Amino acid sequence: VKAVDALLRARADPNVANAAGETPLLMAVRETPLPRPWVEVNPRMSIAVSLLRADADPDARDSQGASALTEACQQDDAILVELLTAVGADLDAEDQKGKRAIDFAPPSGSVARQFSSA
């Protein structure tokens, strides 16, 4: 988290993508381990918030059409889904196979319950 904040203070572009089209936000959601019950700070959330505050595009997609929202749904992270949708992530955007982010959520998970009650 400190490294991300330092890079952003140094004016690193939060929307730069690698050859696979992955942005820092997508990689943070995809690669950062889920928080453990004994850890107070959620590193995924902290990194995502830092990147979004630096104007990271919440709808940026990789070469397969996956977004941070896709990853958050797949990992059943309802709090991160709520954050991403609050800053404008498109719930109806489809990947290259025509699937929406919610299609990747576990059917009986918290994200599926959150979407079905909306």
- Write down the pLDDT at residue 34: 61
pLDDT for the residue 118: 52
Give the SS3 label for residue 35.
coil
- Give me the residues paired with residue 61 across strands: 67
Give the CA dihedral 91, 92, 96, 101, nearest 10 degrees: 30
Helix (H, G, I), strand (E, B) or coil at 60: coil
Report the pLDDT value the prediction gives residue 1, as an integer from 0 to 100: 79
Residues of the chain where predicted confidence (pLDDT) is lower than 70: 32-41, 117-118
Non-local CB neighbours of 116 within 8 Å, separated by 6+ positions: none
Q: What is the pLDDT of residue 31?
A: 78
CA 37 to chain centre: 20
Domain layout of the chain by residue ranges? 2-116
> Which CATH entry fits the domain spanning 2-116: 3.40.50.300, 3.30.300.30, 3.30.70.120, 1.25.40.20?
1.25.40.20
